[in-house]
Amino acid sequence: MQELGSLGLKLAGNGEQKRRYLPRLASGEWLCAYALTESGSGSDSAAMRSTARLEGDEYVLNGSKRFITNAGVAQLYTVFAKTDPQAGHAGISAFLVEADTPGFEVARVEPKMGIKGSTTGELVFEECRVPAANLLGEEGEGFRIAMRILDRSRPGVAAQGLGLAQGATDFAVEYAKTRETMGKPIGEHQLVAAMLADMETKCEAARGLLYRFGAAVDEGIDGSELTKLSAMTKLYCTDVAMEVTTDAVQVLGGYGYISEYPLERMMRDAKITQIYEGTNQIQRLVIAREMLKEQRAFLLAGVA
């Protein structure tokens, strides 16, 4: 979350903004948050209703944000609002809002099925005055900034999913070695053994895709190629997380379902990875959109 909240600064912040905030974020003195989603605009950012109007040397923010991680504990929020409500995506701008800014408050913290160690809440802005110097980039660049952030942060969610999947696999394997039925460890029964083999294979495939993304970033790959790879990584690793943790609970049977063992928590935590920072349905649309832009006609050469 520290990465997600600070990427806007690193990608689009000016020198003064970086000097003012990044040292405190890097040291952990301050936490930060990313505030894009609203109750009526999750996957459809152009439908956001939060607005920001320029008055002198300040922007006045009005609106609300929903499902914001680190709500209530962050000292700095990267907030997206419309400076031109009629312009769709092109009317969105990004702002740095400090937690003690008058007119800003955390309205509620959500009770959740999983990831209960992480706060998720609703933000409200009522005539919230933010210095014009806290505009990230230029007016109208907010959506582009938001998407560039997500291209780089989504594989962090992928890594979270992979960690859950591998942890669940490791626990299930150890359990399957010691739990006996019909005179032998359950891991030696073919149906359980097949589940374990599939779980391990999915984890290894997910790890390879995640590492490929990391290599692409190190190599400076950007644009549509990075967008597609980011979406593929997030999609596959988090689907694997849900599949593998569900299977791990099944391997433990009744013990997998009770909170004395860690797998029910892993399963609950895995579910959100398929939803936040872009649902996996949206990731599939992104991947297909980028595929359709690619030129693969050479593969049909010579085919009659």
What are 194-243's pLDDT values in tens digits? 999 999 999 999 999 999 999 999 999 989 999 999 999 999 999 999 99
Residue among 94, 144, 103, 153 nearest 123 (CA): 103
**Can you give the pLDDT at residue 44?**
80
Q: Is the predicted pLDDT of residue 275 greater than 90, yes or no?
A: yes
Mean pLDDT of the chain, nearest integer: 95
Cα–Cα distance measured from residue 93 to residue 134, given in angstroms and rounded to the nearest whole number: 11
Q: List the chain domain ranges.
A: 2-139, 144-299
Residue among 27, 46, 24, 28 nearest 36 (CA): 46
**Is the CATH number of domain 2-139 1.10.460.10?**
no
Sign of torsion over alpha carbons 287, 292, 297, 298: negative
Cβ 176 vs Cβ 192: under 8 Å: yes
Q: Is the predicted pLDDT of residue 175 greater than 70, yes or no?
A: yes
The residue annotated as part of the active site, out of 38, 264, 277, 290, is 277
Query: Where do we find the tokens 């990427």?
Result: 7
Scored b (16 or more CB within 10 A) or e, 117-152 reads: eebbbbbbbeebbbeeebbbbebbbbbbbbbbbbbb
**Can you give the pLDDT at residue 304?**
59
What average pLDDT does the segment 88-98 reach? 95
| CATH class of the domain at 144-299 | mainly alpha
Confidence of residue 40 (pLDDT cuts 50, 70, 90): confident
Structure tokens at 84: 């031109």
Q: Is the predicted pLDDT of residue 141 greater than 70, yes or no?
A: yes
Q: Specify whether 141 is catalytic.
A: no
Confidence of residue 296 (pLDDT cuts 50, 70, 90): confident
Residues 6+ apart with CB under 8 A from 176: 185, 186, 187, 192, 196, 251
- Tell me the CA end-to-end span of the chain in Å, nearest whole number: 53
Model pTM greater than 0.85? Answer: yes
Confidence of residue 302 (pLDDT cuts 50, 70, 90): low
**Can you give the pLDDT at residue 166?**
98
CB count within 10 Å of CB 282 equals 16
**Can you give the pLDDT at residue 68?**
96
What average pLDDT does the segment 107-114 reach? 95
What average pLDDT does the segment 132-157 reach? 94
Residues 6+ apart with CB under 8 A from 164: 241, 244, 245, 266, 269, 270, 273
Residue among 71, 165, 192 nearest 124 (CA): 71
What average pLDDT does the segment 147-156 reach? 91
Confidence of residue 295 (pLDDT cuts 50, 70, 90): confident
Cβ 101 vs Cβ 141: under 8 Å: no
Residues 6+ apart with CB under 8 A from 252: 172, 175, 179, 261, 263
